[in-house]
Structure 1
Amino acid sequence: MLSSLARFLPRRADYDLSAFRSDLMAGVTVAVVALPLALGFGITSGAGAAAGLYTAMAAGILAAVFGGSNLQVSGPTGAMTVVLLPLVSQYGVAALAPVGILAGLFLLVFAIVRIGRFIRYIPYPVITGFTIGIAVIIFLQQLPGFLGAPAGEGEQVVVASWQTLRAFADAPGLATPMLGMLTVGVMIVWGRSERLRAFPASMAALLAATGLSLLPVFDAVARIPAIPTGLPLPTLPSLAGLEATDLVRAALVIAVLAALESLLSAVVADGMTIDERHDPDRELFGQGIANLGSAVIGGIPATAALARTAVNVRSGARTRLAAIIHGLIIAAIMVALAPLASRIPLVALAAILMVVAARMVEVVEFREIVRATKSDAATMLLTLGVTVAFDLILAIEVGLIVAGALFVTRMSQLFQVDPTVLGGDEPPVHENRVAADAEREVRRDDLVVFRIEGPIFFGAADRFFEELLRVDHHIRIVVLRLRRVPVMDVTGAAALRALVDRLTRRGIVVMMSGVQDQPRSVLERTGILAQVTRQGDHLFDDTDQAIAHARQHLANHDHTHPARAADQSSDATTP
């Protein structure tokens, strides 16, 4: 047990002090980028700006130390706030600590049972629809702060946003949205300038908006509540007033979302480098530790942040020390500059998060999926719609179900049964020649050879059954060429057995050739192979052998039934 857990622990190879200068510069840059995002996501979650900073500090350090990626940066994210806001509105901020601890424990279990490898099976349209849906929700969540209007009621973000827009229309105020537009303008202009791009646009916009907000015209603009000075102390969570069922469900949703977002971010980080490869199970372990640490000091559930990770890589980070430095700088800011945060206008954070949400939408990827196939486009749009209209986990579930159904449909369409099997480049030339020479005789000797291509599974079993039952009533032997059947499941095996039973009752002998390893294994384990091949007598390595055996079988049968042989001879000479 201890040896299996040792693979999750930090090791000397995680660090390279020769890269300290690069990691230091990257850590400082990421901290500057993370500061306004941590404040904004903390407020959006309902827990407050201080909770966002606590999370950036604790999760940033712990996930870097224990995680499975050298370049990943963790902290509060927009996707997580989408889940947390309804929880806080129902149970209050006190619910975040126990839910965060339980989510952390779930992530540790995910790591131990090695669930991280399955992230690769989530289809690209599902991931894209999910990401765009999250971006839409984050954008809509910022409307109250951007417009200076009351937030709408209810958990449904579209309905709440509509209520916010109506409230603003009834009592419009220009100062708050004007400052928000100026913040957006600074971010856009700053990001387009090559000379200014070295300093993060989000931090530049935050400083500019805070300075402008000191003008008399912006006196009424809402600002961040005071942030406690100093570092938080660990506290035990209270379970008072929490329903166990809701607690477990919320924690499981958070754990799944944290796993999904962290592993996707790690994959992207690997793609931005040459030699980096993350350990998915260790990454889940690190995220579990990070969520436990964040919860006990008053933070919110965390996950890896794709934007901050990308900044970390582009800033020259070489090891996980960069993410650790980022967390330490956030802690230093809380100790030294916390009183100044009360001057930051809320609209500035809302505007920054709106721009971040807009940049989450990859227009090129969206167009590629829409133009690719109708089914992929439908999967993406359905996932997007469910994400916005309902919740994130339901969106993933629906997207996977639809993608799975489409995959089964596509795989079943690859399945083919061809009775004119005697051409093509497989099997070898000598087999084709034997088959070609025998083609006319095959037809007259009541022998038909079927070439079967594609997987025989539950999606194609019915077609397999129907196609081969269409053989003419005078056919006496059917040879099934299975060399091009790579996969068979138990449904396909059962269909094969039913087919042989039906043909046998019609007096037709069934032989098989070229059965690959996986189908053979399934047929052997289920006992079907011995049954349908008469203990192997009708199983052949290639079609040459099967045709030769079939012709001999027909000759022997005709020899013992001269009347049938005479009938066939008569049929052959009849014009």
Structure 2
Amino acid sequence: MSSNPPVWHLFVPKLFTTLRRGYSVDSLKTDALAGLTVAVVALPLAMALAIASGTTPEKGLHTAIIAGFLISALGGSRVQIGGPTAAFIPVVFVVIQQHGYGGLILCTLLAGLMLIAAGLLRLGTLMKYMPQPVITGFTAGIAVSIFMSQVKDALGLPITQLPGEFIQRVEVYAEHLPSLNVWAAITCGACLLLIVLLRRWRPHWPGLLIAVVAGALACSLFDMPLATIGSQFGSIPSALPSFEFPHIPFDRTAELLPASLTIAFLAGVESLLSAVVADGMTGGKHRSNAELVAQGVANCGSALFGGLPATGAIARTATNIRSGARTPMAGVLHALFLLLFMLLLAPLMRYVPLAALAAVLLMVAWNMSEIHRFRQLLKSPKGDAAVLLVTFALTVAVDLTVAIEVGVVMAAFLFMHRMSGVVSMESEHRWVEQDVDDLSRAPSDNQQARLPPGVAAFRISGPLFFAVANRLDDVLNQYPDTPRVFILRMRQVPLVDASGATAIGQFLDRCQRSSIKVILSGAAPQPIAVLGSMHINQHPALLGFADDFEHALALADQAGRPDAGFE
């Protein structure tokens, strides 16, 4: 009889697992190339994020080096890349403005301890149950906040103190707009255009770094009257980050606790979202609680070296995977390459114009906004669309903490309202179960045996909503041989919300990458309407809808033939 593995297995770093299984020279070469590629991308981004947060560029570099190293060395994902991210900009900016940089250090340290506690309490699974409209709402709101924070440098406006509130920023910008610096606007626009063109025509080139270098060269060659890193912040120190245990004013802990909770929440959610995205791209599976502990240790380490909050970075993680990363060593080497860049290139960074860095963050804000997903969720059921819009509006106009609290509460009430009429119908069944027949049935009812070769079937029982939608990720992992056709039986699914529809869309994306066609069998009117309103019913991997299992078998038998020719 097999016994469950001990609890401590949940916290074993993926790096340890990788090295224990053996690490070849070929893997080291591949990871080194991926780490170098990500470091080139992270170099200008780390400086830009630090400046947008209201601090100096070397703080961003120190964070990317220290936190990036610890997250890869201790984390539960094989390919996660950690460091400062755009999600923290609004929170960090306000904390520094109200409590100084010392207050931010305390917030980051407290957030790190909270993340360690969350991981040890095995709350990683719970943090993945965040409703999709809330995630998209506050992510799009943060993107708007980042955009607004970069108007000053993008247009070269002579503003000494930028307010943290959205409305006040708009008023200050309108007041100073007549005094914009034309050279700054041209530089920012040119760098932004260069990034867009490189992404379209040369997607494998480091577009962000090329744009920043081009902006610095143009500024120096043509002697443009632009604010640069050197004129604004002085020289970047070309030395190792220094350890300094901060003075902790315990009397301010209660005052800074809300901001610390927000930082911990953002770090936990974004790191786990990034790990889930990485799993989808690699076919692996991360250890969520080990990842939370690593994020906590990384934030504590960053605070002790005077850095910023850190978390898993989705864009840099995706770059790492596309560059061929195999193990966490790629992330470790990315941090070491960044350290080498800082030690060797620090004197040259003083010539980088702030307008060029503003272009980098404007592109980050655009990518972070996920306009396509925002529009898609607006077509979801009215309740989900309301949660999306309220979370977005509160993030932009009020406060990120308030936005998340209100959004989650609204989603919870919406869920309870929807479940009130259907929860008793499926209370004795598992949410997602394999499509195996009841042994008490007659042999003629053995539907599993009737499946044609190369066809697999799976049944979902119960409402597909935000708390269970992520379980669709594990469906394909249960089949050692990849099927040609997949029948998803949905007769026992009374409703699908926006998160469930998004999960089906992501499931179809993964099937498309594996050349699997999908048939949705017996879907009720409500799920069909939601999938139709969000245009998921037009997915290329979707072979079609079947009225019942007999119809699905006929479609699968036809499509599953080797000479069917579907792609």
Q: Which residue of 1 aligns with 2:213?
A: 207
Q: Is the Cα–Cα contact under 8 Å of residues 152 and 163 in structure 1 kept in the other structure?
A: no
Q: Tell me whether 1:402 sits opposite 2:410 in the alignment.
A: yes
Specify which of 348, 356, 361 is matched with residue 369 of structure 2. Answer: 361
CA distance in 1, matches of 2:298, 2:228: 32
Structure 1: stretches of 5+ with no match in the other structure: 418-427, 430-453, 456-483, 487-575
CA distance in 1, matches of 2:226, 2:294: 43
Question: In the aligned structure 1, how far is the partner of 2:252 from the partner of 2:322?
Answer: 44
Cα distance in 2, alignment partners of residues 407 and 151 from structure 1: 47
**1:79 alignment counterpart:** 87
Q: Deviations over 1:319-353 (max 9, x none)?
A: 11111111001100111111111011111111110
Tell me, in whole angstroms, the C-alpha distance in 1 between the residues paired with 2:181 and 2:190.
Answer: 15
| Cα distance between partner residues in 2 of 1:310 and 1:38 | 17
Which TM-score applies when normalising by structure 1?
0.69
Aligned pairs (5 A) from 1:8-87:
8-10=11-13, 12-15=16-19, 16-17=23-24, 18-87=26-95
The offset of 1:241, in angstroms, is: 9.7
- 1:153/1:38 CA distance change after superposition, 3 Å: closer
**Is residue 128–residue 272 contact of structure 2 (8 Å, CA) maintained in 1?**
no
Counterpart in 2 of 1:307?
315
Report whether the alignment pairs 1:259 with 2:268.
yes
Structure 2, unpaired ranges of 5+: 1-5, 426-439, 442-461, 464-491, 495-567
Structure 2 counterpart of 1:218 = 224
How many Å apart are 1:159 and its aligned residue? Answer: 2.3
Q: 1:102 aligns with which of 103, 107, 110?
A: 110
**Residue identity opposite 2:11 in structure 1:** F
- Give the AA of the match of 2:267: A
Q: CA deviation at 1:266?
A: 1.0
CA offset digits 1:56-90 (Å, max 9, x no partner): 00011000011111111110111112111111011
User: What one-letter code is carried by the residue in structure 2 that aligns with 1:412?
Assistant: S
The correspondence of residues 507-526 of structure 1 with structure 2, limited to 5 A, is none
Which residue of 197, 206, 211 maps to 2:203? 197
Q: What is the match of residue 237 of structure 2?
A: 228
Runs of 4 or more consecutive aligned structure 1 residues displaced over 4 Å after TM superposition: 3-7
Q: Deviations over 1:191-210 (max 9, x none)?
A: 111xx322211111111111
1:173: which partner in 2? 181
C-alpha spacing 1:191/1:242, structure 2 compared with 1 (3 Å): farther
Q: Percent identity?
A: 40
1:166 shift after superposition? 2.3
d(CA) in 2 for partners of 1:198, 1:54: 26
Equivalent residue in structure 2 for 1:133, among 119, 135, 141: 141
Amino acid across the alignment from 1:319 = T
Question: Which of 252, 275, 279 does residue 270 from structure 1 map onto?
Answer: 279
Cα shift at 1:165: 3.4
Q: Give the alignment partner of residue 382 of structure 2, picking from 374, 393, 398.
A: 374
Q: Which residue in 2 is equivalent to 1:245?
A: 254
Match of 1:568 in 2: none
Q: Secondary structure at the match of 1:89?
A: helix
Secondary structure, aligned partner of 1:71: coil
**Deviation of 1:249 (Å):** 2.6
Which residue of the partner structure matches residue 321 of structure 1? 329
Instruction: Report the Cα offset of residue 125 of structure 1.
Output: 1.2
Structure 2 distance, partners of 1:27, 1:162, is 43
Aligned residues: 417
Q: For residues 515-554 of structure 1, what are the structure 2 equivalents within 5 Å?
A: none
- Superposed displacement of residue 126, structure 1: 1.2
- Report the CA distance between 1:143 and its aligned residue: 1.0
Matches of 1:242 and 1:55, distance apart in 2:
27
Query: C-alpha separation between the residues in 2 aligned to 1:416 and 1:262?
Result: 35
What amino acid is aligned across from residue 204 of structure 2 in structure 1? A
Measure the CA separation in 1 of the matches of 2:145 and 2:30: 35
Corresponding letter in the other structure for 1:212: A
Alpha-carbon shift at residue 151 of structure 1 (Å):
5.8
The one-letter amino acid paired with 1:107 is: L
Cα distance in 1 for partners of 2:9, 2:304 equals 24
Q: Is the 8 A contact 1:41 1:52 kept in 2?
A: yes
Residue 11 of structure 2: SS of its match in structure 1? coil
Q: Does the residue aligned with 1:213 lie in a helix, a strand or coil? A: helix
